[in-house]
């Protein structure tokens, strides 16, 4: 692993997501960083703002049959099918390593019913290392639940309320971009008590193999991520920033510090790096170093000076 | 498990047959850590397209820290790599995956088809160098025809290993399948088979070994995004149900663990 | 210009969009091919399936202030603001050249009210060269009208009815991808009498210049097009193909014959090539040549064998 | 207007100053049709990223059909072009745009700043070659400092044209702006000024010429997607209201037609 080469002692990169204090605004995106250990050879994990782990369900899930991924122009489709070890094994097998890292651990959860979300929140609230819960109401891959929760403001609010009731830690609701008006869902979950929103999850996409005349994914459709979707993500973050007053975490196609700072300017308090970590496993740390360098070179008092600092008109 | 992300220099690029390229990279850190059957993820573009790295078996390493990959040009990524020139820097990740289990076997047989021979050269040289006295594995290589097969044999011959050849069209060696050749070797449960190649070939090798009760390891391929266990994209179905991940649980598996019907 | 190098005499590439017969399925996308003349040095225009021209409004429009475009990962943002010469000058200045080409001319129209759409249809119906009208209800750039028509099934149906009343030529309604469920709008316009639907128009996106902290587009938001959006477009075409029985024209990121044929397999009868024509002005003809070569090599009876031939399960 | 899309061979790539590159392309068809002030659109990537072509003024052409562009490395596209090696094929479109109007003027003055000198070399040579007896234009070139300016002057000197130099820091030639030098020439309404460079410079040249009633043509830059009038992305505001399109109505405009306040 490369040595840490950007001095950050004197820089103020701290941001808050409600009561959750982060040493800097750079997190991992759920499902793209495994359970963090996978990246220990590449990234100084203790430098991250927070680690967001793969989506966890009540019961273990085997996931979808292959092929599960396909590369597209500046992006990729995935239909992993939310393969995960289930909440019990997550707590017993994965949390010990994660909580020892010394950075906030945010657990992404998904359920098939409002009650499952509540149960997940309750189970995780018992695990002391969990700093916050990110509620995935937007995954497009599972037929039951996933889609409906994220596209219907009322359902999204119901899930938010249930999770809030189930736990004391900050609750971040992760929004789907596959909607006509993302601000409606954002406002609904804000009213329902969400401490923050994160966006965007993947756009729904598809690809076809001309040779076999079959879909490239066994699941037919999948989630589009990567640099290709960044303009859509940035627009939605900007729109939501005008609509809600809770903190926003920006996600979608972030591969460089410049990308990340665009999201901060648009109104995000923090960002998540997703697909970029597949291409460059050190992407999260590279984004962090780039932000730090910018804050130093521009002599900003803190990284918070960037948040929402977009100039219009 | 220590994995490294590095920019390494391309030392040599050789077209060893039509559409088949061998790249020699100066990658001492990765080469030092690598075992046969492991692979590297190579970035093929400077820009964002193609976005994802491409996986390639480690074909050979040498004591000077050089690492080779051998590949067929099949799409945009491999095309780009084939055009790279000496002196260029390539970003690679590795060594990745689990590698072959060399075990105790004094009676190893390596069965490769097409580009499946790529990891077998490194494996063969390790057998020759094993600490408790080298052993010479038997090697069966199959391809469609003479033009495809002969250029792939040279490195094995240079190691002093005899190659049993099979071609689909009979233009070189045995006229037929590698499994036909494998049958003639009278392997036993004390032997070990190591196989890499097209799926139907590996399935046939597996079924033969299963029948004869011969231990058999296979190296399998899937599409990959990360190569390091993070995306869960590289699933292969297991006989016992559920999926394994080729990049982190494999790419080498005991053939009997996998579900071959799919 | 390069000579025509793919012999097509013996090949059957014909497709129909309702009563509109096309010699092949390759059209241009509105706003990306000017008024066709711009491409006469590069493309044998008479070989195209149809020419779709830049969106026309009742009155001339000056368009948005610059910057109007910005490149993104495998795509671009545009906020041209529907600059156009207005329907009168279009008919007097542009139609003579267009109708002399000998290929169907499809006129893309946009209005700020249902009545404007009707008036446009009536005016164009008087011009004998107009083979069909494509109704742009989806352009995200103009604040009045544009967005609402395309995202609300009832409004979309109202516009469709008005245009149908105003003219006898086939009416193609162009759908917006910025909706939760594209099939709802597709079904609504089918019921309202649309002869075909085309999709997708651009996704709404945004980009920010870190140096100036300003949006990259003077209009703040713009439409995302190009290869980046292809997976989303293909998914929506596939969904709409399951939902309606009128012909579908596939649009979005098509840059090669392979791309185009994916849309045919997903259920489109024809395709439009947009942003790709900026990068490769010969893109439409290259797509056509590639399809012809495929039809010959695969010994298909006609290109129509590909339509909806996706295999699932 | 006949435009051509072609793959052309890169004959030579020269770094003429830090971050400034000159490419010589073998493009006889485009060179034959080109007039000064026109530009070409160059594809910078093999893949889809960067997606769009980049516009460059035609810097010089010669009778053997060679065409040169001169550019500064400012981003991903120009970086890619700077890395291209002799023998590579580049896809270019051209010649595009309207070009300068050389008029009757026997008293032309070319005013360039930074990379704005790119189209002026071709323009200067056309003045020298004009059918009704060549005329030697006067040339004023400005840049930040000696290092930037001197390498850009050589080609003009080689044509036998005297260059009046101005640098921001006074390290070479006049210490100040090109407009200060322009003032000293006592041009009249019978003269013509041709200018290309940074926007503030061209605005200053325009205002000076307007005051003195000197005809002035400027070559302007905008972001472009197509370069051929199809996307309407390259709008510049006009004094009379509305917009012109740089690629098809320009890139050369009568300075007085444009709205300079923006
Ligand atoms: C662990 C591992 C080791 C590998 N080792 C080697 C090696 O040593 N030598 C070698 O030549 N190849 C090897 N491969 C396969 C190699 O990774 C692919 O050929 C390469 O990624 C293709 O990239 P491309 O951009 O050229 O093709 P693309 O443009 O991505 O694809 C072109 C065509 O090939 C198909 N394709 C792509 N990847 C695969 C794949 N993994 N299996 C089957 N079909 C595929 C695509 O569906 C498409 O039809 C290995 C794969 C894995 C997973
Ligand atoms: C008609 C015309 C002729 C031109 N001739 C020349 C020439 O002869 N020599 C030369 O060096 N350049 C010339 N340019 C500018 C040149 O096209 C840009 O520098 C180039 O496109 C930048 O590409 P890039 O990918 O390296 O930069 P990008 O990565 O696209 O951009 C890098 C930075 O430069 C800015 N930028 C990009 N394009 C422009 C532009 N046109 N004007 C101002 N800022 C820009 C971007 O906003 C960004 O901040 C010309 C432009 C036009 C329109
Ligand atoms: C392979 C893969 C798996 C993902 N799994 C999850 C998940 O379990 N839960 C979730 O909320 N989002 C998941 N996502 C979405 C990402 O967290 C992120 O929202 C999306 O990929 C957009 O960001 P990016 O463009 O930076 O990748 C996944 C994305 C990918 C590519
Ligand atoms: C510069 C530009 C201008 C456009 N103008 C119009 C228009 O006037 N009317 C319309 O219906 N669509 C317009 N579009 C959308 C395209 O027709 C097409 O739907 C979209 O770009 C997606 O296709 P593509 O990815 O192939 O470009 C425009 C697109 C671009 C890039
Ligand atoms: S390739 Fe990502 S988990 Fe195997
Ligand atoms: S660049 Fe497209 S119209 Fe000028």
Pairwise CA distance, residues A238 & D148, whole Å? 41
Quick check: C145 pLDDT over 80? no
Pairwise CA distance, residues C161 & C173, whole Å? 11
- Closest Cα to residue C12, out of C20, C2, C24, C29? C24
Quick check: C156 pLDDT over 50? yes
D4: closest CA of chain C, how far (Å)? 7
Which residue in the set A80, A227, A277 is minimally distant from B233, CB to CB?
A: A80
**Catalytic residue flag (residue C139):** yes
A74 in contact with D at a CB cutoff of 8 Å?
yes
Pairwise CA distance, residues A142 & B216, whole Å? 36
Length of chain A (residues)? 313
Token pair listed for A91? 């707590």
| Cβ of residue D229 lying under 6 Å from some atom of ligand 6 | yes
Q: What is the pLDDT of residue C113?
A: 87
Quick check: C142 pLDDT over 60? no
Cβ-Cβ contacts under 8 Å, D234 against chain C: 66, 68-69
Instruction: Report the predicted TM-score, pTM, of the whole model to 2 decimal places.
Output: 0.96
Q: What is the pLDDT of residue B105?
A: 62
Cβ-Cβ contacts under 8 Å, D50 against chain C: 71
Q: What is the pLDDT of residue C143?
A: 45
**Contacts across the A-D interface (CB distance below 8 Å):** 4
Cβ-Cβ contacts under 8 Å, D49 against chain A: 73-74
Q: What is the pLDDT of residue D103?
A: 79
- State how beta strands C130-136 and C171-174 pair: parallel
Residue A78 to residue B233, Cβ atoms within 8 A? yes
List the 174-193 stretch of A: residues with Cβ below 8 A of B.
none
Instruction: Render pLDDT for B77-86 as a digit per residue (tens, 0 to 9).
Output: 999 999 999 9
- Please measure the distance between the N-terminal and C-terminal CA atoms of chain A and give it in whole angstroms: 45
Distance from Cα C209 to the centre of ligand 4, integer Å: 23
Burial of A55 (0-12, 13-18, 19+ CB in 10 A): buried
List the 109-138 stretch of B: residues with Cβ below 8 A of D.
none
Pairwise CA distance, residues A104 & C100, whole Å? 68
Burial of C274 (0-12, 13-18, 19+ CB in 10 A): buried
Protein residue closest via CA to atom 13 of ligand 1: B56
DSSP state letters, C23-87: SSSEEEPTTSSTTSGGGTTTS-GGGSSBEEEEEE-SS-B--PPSP-EEEETTEEEE-----B-HH
Q: How many CB atoms lie within 10 A of CB D131?
A: 5
- Which residue of D lies nearest to C280 if distances are taken between CA atoms? D5
Q: What is the pLDDT of residue D46?
A: 84
- For the segment A22-41, the average pLDDT, to the nearest whole number, is 96
List the 160-219 stretch of A: residues with Cβ below 8 A of C.
178-181, 203-208, 210, 212-215
> Which comes out higher in pLDDT, residue B23 or A128?
B23
Instruction: Render pLDDT for B37-79 as a digit per residue (tens, 0 to 9).
Output: 999 999 998 889 999 999 999 999 998 999 999 999 999 999 9
Cβ-Cβ contacts under 8 Å, A230 against chain C: 72-73, 207
Q: What is the pLDDT of residue D167?
A: 93
Report residue A148's pLDDT band, with 50, 70 and 90 as the boundaries: low
| Cβ of residue D251 lying under 6 Å from some atom of ligand 2 | yes
Q: What is the pLDDT of residue D207?
A: 93
D67: closest CA of chain B, how far (Å)? 26
Protein residue closest via CA to atom 17 of ligand 1: B55
| Cβ of residue D233 lying under 6 Å from some atom of ligand 6 | yes
Q: What is the pLDDT of residue C141?
A: 40
A63: closest CA of chain C, how far (Å)? 17
In this structure, of A177-191, C30-44, C276-290, D151-165, the range with the lowest mean pLDDT score is: D151-165
Report residue C146's pLDDT band, with 50, 70 and 90 as the boundaries: very low
Token pair listed for B225? 């995004």
Which ligand 5 atom is nearest residue B226's CA?
2
Instruction: Render pLDDT for D128-165 as a digit per residue (tens, 0 to 9).
Output: 887 666 678 899 999 999 999 999 999 999 988 989 99
Degrees to nearest 5, angle at CA B48 with B76 and A261 = 170
List the 71-90 stretch of B: residues with Cβ below 8 A of D.
76, 80, 85
Chain A adjacent subunits, 3+ CB pairs under 8 A: B, C, D
Quick check: C139 pLDDT over 60? no
| Percentage of chain A exceeding pLDDT 90 | 88
Quick check: A293 pLDDT over 50? yes
> Which comes out higher in pLDDT, residue A147 or C16?
C16
Q: What is the pLDDT of residue C2?
A: 74
Quick check: A181 pLDDT over 80? yes
D49: closest CA of chain C, how far (Å)? 5
- Closest Cα to residue C141, out of C217, C68, C80? C80
Pairwise CA distance, residues B164 & B174, whole Å? 8
Structure ipTM: 0.96
Residue A266 to residue C206, Cβ atoms within 8 A? yes
Protein residue closest via CA to atom 28 of ligand 1: B75
Q: How many CB atoms lie within 10 A of CB D18?
A: 10
Which ligand 3 atom is nearest residue B232's CA?
1
Low-confidence residues of chain B: pLDDT under 70: 1, 105, 131-134, 262
Q: Mutate one of A71, A72, A74 to test the D interface: name it (highest D CB count within 10 A).
A: A74
Residue A41 to residue B4, Cβ atoms within 8 A? yes
Low-confidence residues of chain D: pLDDT under 70: 1, 105, 131-134, 262
| Cβ of residue C75 lying under 6 Å from some atom of ligand 4 | no
**Mean pLDDT in chain C?**
94
| Cβ of residue D224 lying under 6 Å from some atom of ligand 6 | yes
Phi, psi of D110 (to 5 degrees): -100, 125
- For the segment C114-124, the average pLDDT, to the nearest whole number, is 93
- For the segment A214-241, the average pLDDT, to the nearest whole number, is 97
Burial of B116 (0-12, 13-18, 19+ CB in 10 A): buried
Q: Which residue among D39, D244, D245 is best mutated to probe the pocket of ligand 6, counting the most ligand atoms within 8 A of its Cβ?
A: D245
Report residue C50's pLDDT band, with 50, 70 and 90 as the boundaries: very high
Q: What is the pLDDT of residue D150?
A: 92
Q: What is the pLDDT of residue A146?
A: 44
């Amino acid at each position: 692993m490369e040595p840490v080469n950007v001095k950050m002692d004197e820089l103020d990169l701290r941001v808050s997501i409600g009561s959750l204090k982060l040493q800097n605004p750079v997190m991992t995106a759920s499902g793209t960083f495994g359970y963090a250990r996978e990246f220990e050879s590449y990234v100084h994990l203790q430098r991250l703002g927070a680690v967001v782990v793969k989506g966890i369900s009540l019961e273990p899930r085997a996931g979808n049959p292959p092929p599960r991924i396909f590369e597209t122009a500046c992006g990729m489709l995935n239909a992993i099918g939310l393969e995960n070890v289930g909440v019990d094994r997550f707590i017993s097998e994965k949390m010990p390593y994660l909580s020892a890292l010394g950075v906030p651990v945010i657990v992404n959860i998904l359920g098939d019913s409002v009650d499952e979300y509540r149960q997940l929140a309750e189970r995780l609230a018992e695990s002391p290392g969990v700093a916050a819960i990110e509620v995935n109401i937007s995954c497009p891959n599972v037929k039951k639940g996933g889609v409906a929760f994220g596209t219907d403001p009322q359902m999204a609010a119901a899930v938010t309320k249930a999770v809030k009731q189930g736990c004391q830690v900050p609750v971040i609701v992760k929004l789907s971009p596959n909607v006509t008006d993302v601000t409606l869902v954002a406002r609904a979950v804000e009213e329902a008590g969400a401490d923050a929103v994160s966006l965007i999850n993947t756009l729904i996409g598809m690809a076809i193999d001309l040779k076999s005349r079959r879909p490239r994914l066994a699941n037919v459709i999948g989630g589009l991520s990567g640099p290709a979707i960044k303009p859509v993500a940035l627009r939605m973050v900007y729109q939501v920033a005008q609509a809600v007053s809770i903190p926003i975490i920006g996600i979608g196609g972030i591969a460089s510090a410049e990308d990340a700072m665009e999201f901060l300017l648009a109104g995000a308090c923090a960002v998540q790096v997703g697909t970029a970590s597949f291409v460059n496993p050190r992407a999260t740390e590279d984004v962090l170093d780039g932000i730090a360098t910018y804050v130093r070179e521009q002599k900003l008092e803190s990284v918070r000076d960037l948040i929402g600092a977009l100039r219009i008109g | 498990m220590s994995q490294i992300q590095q920019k390494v220099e391309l030392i040599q690029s050789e077209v060893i047959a039509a559409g088949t390229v061998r790249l020699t990279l100066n990658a001492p850190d990765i080469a030092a850590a690598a075992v046969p059957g492991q692979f590297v993820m190579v970035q093929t573009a400077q820009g964002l397209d193609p976005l994802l790295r491409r996986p390639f078996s480690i074909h050979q390493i040498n004591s000077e820290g050089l690492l080779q990959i051998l590949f067929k040009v099949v799409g945009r990524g491999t095309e780009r790599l084939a055009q790279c020139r000496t002196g260029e820097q390539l970003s690679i990740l590795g060594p990745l995956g689990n590698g072959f289990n060399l075990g105790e076997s004094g009676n190893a047989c390596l069965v490769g088809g097409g580009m499946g021979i790529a990891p077998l050269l490194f494996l063969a040289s390790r057998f020759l160098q094993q600490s408790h006295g080298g052993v010479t594995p038997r090697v069966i290589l199959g391809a469609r025809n003479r033009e495809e097969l002969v250029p792939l044999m040279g490195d094995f011959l240079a190691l002093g290993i005899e190659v049993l050849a099979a071609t689909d069209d009979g233009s070189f060696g045995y006229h037929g399948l590698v499994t036909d050749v494998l049958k003639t070797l009278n392997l036993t449960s004390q032997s070990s088979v190591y196989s890499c190649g097209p799926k139907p070939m590996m399935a046939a090798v597996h079924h033969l070994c299963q029948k004869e009760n011969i231990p058999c390891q296979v190296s399998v391929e899937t599409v990959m995004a990360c190569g390091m266990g993070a995306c869960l994209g590289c699933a292969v179905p297991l006989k016992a149900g559920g999926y394994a991940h080729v990049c982190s649980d494999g790419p080498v598996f005991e053939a009997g663990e996998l579900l071959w019907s799919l």
